[in-house]
């Protein structure tokens, strides 16, 4: 599939995952981050979506994938796994490996400073 179409489909799929609402500014990011650092799986998924869509933060697929991985292991397995797979479609193998490494480090740090 052509990369441009893949990106458009990935964005559309992420938007569908976030139909319940999304962050609009950095204050929402700070709120989500505070909850995510406490191990709150829905907040971790929300943070993932913010990174994936660039809402409240600079768009970053590596951090989106990382937080989706963490959210999946924290209890939001269905939605977070879907989001992770969607983001992975538009990432390189090296980016995915970096996201997985960051996720492991973040879990070791108990979600603080990720």
Per-residue pLDDT tens for 53-79?
999 999 999 999 999 999 999 998 888
Q: What is the 3-state secondary structure (H, E, C) of 48-106?
A: HHHHHHCCCCCCCHHHHHHHHHHHHHHCCHHHHHHHHHHHHCCCCHHHHHHHHHHHHHH
Contacts of 50 (CB under 8 A, 6+ apart): 22, 23, 28, 29, 32, 56, 57
Check the CA dihedral 85-88-89-94 and report its sign.
Answer: negative
**pLDDT for res 5:** 43
**pLDDT for res 76:** 84
d(CA 4, CA 67): 24
Contacts of 4 (CB under 8 A, 6+ apart): none
Q: What global pTM score does this model have?
A: 0.80
């Amino acid at each position: 599939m052509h990369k441009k179409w893949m990106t458009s489909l990935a964005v559309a799929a992420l938007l569908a995952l976030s139909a319940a609402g999304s962050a609009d500014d950095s204050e929402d990011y700070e709120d989500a981050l505070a909850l995510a650092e406490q191990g709150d799986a829905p907040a971790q998924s929300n943070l993932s979506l913010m990174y994936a869509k660039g809402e409240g933060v600079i768009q970053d697929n590596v951090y989106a994938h990382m937080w989706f991985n963490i959210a999946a292991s924290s209890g939001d397995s269905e939605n977070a796994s879907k989001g992770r797979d969607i983001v992975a479609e538009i990432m390189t193998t090296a980016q995915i490996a970096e996201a997985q490494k960051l996720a492991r480090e973040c879990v070791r740090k108990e979600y603080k400073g990720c």
